[in-house]
């Protein structure tokens, strides 16, 4: 079976330990028949046998040996149990550790499309609960199954050794038990798959709500969110209850069958004793071991439940394990050579799933040039720049850097040549210094300050309680929108890559600060191709070229002056923005 193979593969390095644990389980469980055997000897020789009284005096040594044997076997079983448990725990914990690292790497290596389609809460469920369930199964469920089987087989063999007919009578109960269990398993399996799905939904909504708590507060939607959570929680609880209730449908039958073992033993065993076919001691041995047959039957329900949970979880874990990103490569930051920085879009068409977002986009950016991209919201500006470091791949056409299709470049090298400040600013809960130097942890402190100055961030950083060592909250809590943007800009500049992409990076800063940033961008030192997405004509005016995008198509392209002359979209935007300013000036003057 595929899943079992998967587990086996991941036990590498711990296989010997695991097999040892399995063997010890079998040995330990088989030893359960030792004591009933010894007590049978004691009963037959010293209590119920014909020469019991003589033996008590004459063969005292044997009695003592048998008693010591019973104590010895008990101690041996306890010791074995201890060692066995330790091996199971070690092997399964080691496996868990390895798989968890592997999965984490796997998730880190996924492309953007994967994160578009998979929710954080679900990923967290897989990395924690599901993985723990798999480990639990490996340590406890497999142990229970192996031990139940071993005890059962040992007891049955011993019973056959004592009396085959009586054993057959007892085993008559096995088929109905198996049929009932099978029916139970078939009914409960889909329920556990549903249960697992609801847990993931519950976790996803919890995670999203905690992450977006500020929004919830801003809209005073706590009640609504709590209600939504309550609903999901109730859903999960109901699914859990429903699964448990199914067991209750089958439980009475299985319990009755398990109890019936005692009844059969009493009647059939009693008759055999009366007919002198078996001794009292043998009957006692049957009686002492009957649990070894009935208990596994009782455990079947629990085992089936756990196995279903195990498969529901394992499927989810294996999904990550075998998820192949379409865009992948080694993540060697700063590896390889430095590109010249020319960028060419050659009849590029792009789709998210099936929605076409870019159609037949062509333009060229020469090394060292600054190109601005402008256009209405949703026009596809962010999408264009996402294609340069290959966050997504084109549907048709090509994106070329230094004349080479990005799909033919080494991914680590390609990304090592692009500095990007994304539209959606994400900072880490770390020091400001750590955030600016995120792309280059070796960055000297002087340089951190230099880039912060270039991004017009130095002033506000120095005013913070601990300057560059101030720790900012998750996602940059404690900073204003414009401050976050400036840190993101400093972070993007600090990696000194030949291609710098700024997606709406100055939208939240005032005009004066923006002018400062613009002059910084012109004086970055090393040759750097810049693509700047912006809405303000004050930002785009100085660019070598401006590309106007609308509905995924390039509708205008040229310098500031050329586009104004064309009297198209750019001209409209320019007039709109400057009319406003003129009116303001008039109002104040």
Ligand X SMILES: Nc1ncnc2c1ncn2[C@@H]1O[C@H](COP(=O)(O)OP(=O)(O)OP(=O)(O)O)[C@@H](O)[C@H]1O
Q: Helix and strand tally (H, E) in the chain?
A: 25, 10
Residue 380 contacts ligand X per CB under 6 A: yes
- Give the one entry of Mg ion, ligand X, none that residue 357 binds, where binding means its C-beta sits below a cut-off of 5 to 8 angstroms depending on kind: ligand X
Whole-angstrom Cα distance, residue 557 to residue 546? 6
State which H helix or E strand residue 358 sits in: strand 355-365
Question: Which of the ranges 288-296, 381-389, 466-474, 483-491 carries the binding residues for ligand X, by CB under 6 A?
Answer: 381-389
| Nearer to ligand X (CB atom), residue 223 or residue 424 | 424
Residues 6 or more apart whose CB falls under 8 angstroms from that of 112 comprise 327, 386, 391, 392
Quick one: 97 or 352, whose CB is closer to ligand X? 352
**Nearer CB in complex with Mg ion: 180/382:** 382
Pairwise CA distance, residues 260 & 254, whole Å: 10
Find the part of the chain contacting ligand X (CB under 6 A) among 75-83, 118-126, 141-149, 378-386.
Answer: 378-386
CB of 411 to Mg ion, least distance (A): 23
Q: How far is it, in rounded angstroms, from Cα 532 to Cα 518?
A: 11
Binds 87, which of Mg ion, ligand X, none (CB < 5 to 8 A, cut-off by type)?
none
Nearer to ligand X, 381 or 486 (CB): 381
Contact predicate 129/195, CB 8 Å: no
Of positions 308, 383, 506, 539, contacts ligand X by CB under 6 A: 383
Task: Work out whether 423 is an interface residue with ligand X (CB under 6 A).
Answer: yes
Among Mg ion, ligand X, none, the one that 125 touches (CB under a kind-dependent 5 to 8 A) is none
Residue 377 interface partner, choices Mg ion, ligand X, none, CB cut-off 5-8 Å depending on type: ligand X
Least separation, in Å, of the C-beta of 336 and ligand X? 28
**Residue 381 interacts with ligand X (CB under 6 A): yes or no:** yes
Is-contact 31 80, C-beta < 8 A? Answer: yes
Task: Give the 3-state secondary structure of residue 349.
Answer: strand
Closer residue to Mg ion in complex, CB, 314/500 = 500
Per-residue interface string for the shown chain with ligand X, residues 327-366, x marking contact by CB under 6 A: -------------------------x----x---------
Q: Which residue is nearest to Mg ion (CB)?
A: 382
Reading across the β-sheet that carries 499-503, which strands appear in turn? 418-421, 499-503, 529-533, 370-374, 545-550, 553-558
Contacts of 419 (CB under 8 A, 6+ apart): 439, 492, 493, 495, 496, 497, 499, 500, 501
By CB under 5 A, name the binding residues for Mg ion.
Answer: 382, 423
Smallest separation, CB 350 to ligand X (Å): 9
Helices 174-211 and 222-264: crossing angle, nearest 10°? 170
* Distance of alpha carbon 357 from alpha carbon 144, whole angstroms: 55
Point out which residues bind ligand X (CB under 6 A). Answer: 116, 352, 357, 375, 377-383, 423
């Amino acid at each position: 079976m595929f899943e079992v193979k998967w587990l086996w593969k991941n036990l590498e390095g711990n296989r010997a330990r695991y097999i040892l644990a399995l063997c010890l389980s079998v040995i330990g469980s088989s030893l359960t028949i030792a004591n009933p055997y010894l007590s049978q000897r004691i009963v037959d020789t010293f209590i119920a046998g014909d020469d019991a009284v003589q033996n008590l005096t004459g063969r005292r040594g044997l009695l003592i040996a048998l008693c010591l044997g019973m104590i010895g076997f008990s101690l041996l079983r306890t010791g074995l149990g201890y060692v066995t448990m330790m091996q199971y725990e070690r092997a399964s914990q080691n496996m868990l550790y390895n798989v968890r690292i592997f999965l984490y790497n796997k998730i880190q290596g996924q492309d953007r499309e994967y994160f578009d389609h998979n929710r954080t809460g679900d990923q967290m469920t897989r990395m924690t609960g599901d993985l723990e369930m798999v480990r639990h199964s490996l340590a406890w469920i497999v142990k229970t199954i192996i031990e139940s089987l071993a005890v059962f087989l040992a007891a049955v063999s011993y019973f056959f050794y004592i009396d085959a007919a009586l054993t057959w009578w007892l085993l008559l109960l096995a088929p109905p038990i198996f049929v009932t269990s099978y029916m139970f398993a078939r009914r409960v399996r889909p329920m556990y798959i549903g249960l697992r799905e609801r847990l993931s939904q519950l976790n996803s909504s919890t995670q999203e709500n905690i992450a977006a708590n500020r929004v919830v507060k801003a809209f005073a939607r706590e009640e609504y969110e709590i209600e939504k959570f309550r609903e999901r929680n109730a859903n999960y609880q109901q699914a859990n209850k429903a699964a448990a209730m199914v067991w209750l449908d089958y439980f009475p039958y299985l319990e009755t069958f398990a109890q019936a073992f005692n009844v059969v033993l009493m009647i059939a065993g009693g008759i055999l004793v009366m007919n002198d076919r078996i001794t009292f001691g043998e009957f006692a041995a049957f009686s002492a071991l009957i649990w070894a047959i009935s208990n596994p039957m009782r455990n079947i329900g629990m085992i089936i439940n756990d196995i279903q949970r195990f498969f529901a979880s394992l499927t989810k874990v294996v999904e990550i394990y075998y998820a192949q990103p379409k865009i992948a490569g080694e993540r060697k930051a700063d590896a390889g050579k430095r590109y010249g920085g020319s960028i060419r879009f050659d009849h590029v068409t792009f789709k998210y799933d099936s929605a076409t977002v870019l159609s037949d986009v062509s333009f060229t950016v020469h090394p060292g040039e600054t190109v601005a991209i402008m256009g209405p919201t949703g026009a596809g500006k962010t999408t264009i720049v996402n294609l340069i470091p290959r966050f997504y791949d084109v549907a048709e056409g090509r994106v070329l850097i230094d004349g080479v299709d990005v799909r033919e470049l080494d991914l680590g090298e390609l990304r090592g040549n692009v500095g990007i400040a994304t539209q959606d600013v994400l900072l880490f809960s770390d020091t400001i210094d750590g955030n600016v130097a995120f792309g280059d942890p070796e960055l000297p402190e002087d340089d951190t300050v230099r880039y912060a100055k270039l991004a017009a961030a130095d002033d506000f950083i120095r005013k913070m309680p601990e300057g560059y060592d101030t720790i900012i909250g998750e996602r940059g809590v404690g900073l204003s929108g414009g401050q976050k943007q400036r840190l993101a800009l400093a972070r993007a500049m600090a990696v000194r890559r030949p291609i710098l992409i700024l997606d709406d990076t100055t939208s939240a800063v005032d005009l004066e600060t923006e002018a400062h940033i613009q002059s910084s961008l012109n004086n970055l030192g090393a040759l750097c191709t810049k693509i700047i997405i912006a809405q303000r004509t004050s930002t785009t005016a100085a660019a070598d070229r401006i590309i106007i995008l609308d509905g995924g198509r390039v509708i205008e392209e040229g310098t500031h002056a050329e586009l104004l002359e064309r009297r198209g979209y750019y001209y409209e935007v320019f007039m709109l923005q400057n009319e406003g300013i003129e009116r303001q000036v008039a109002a104040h003057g």
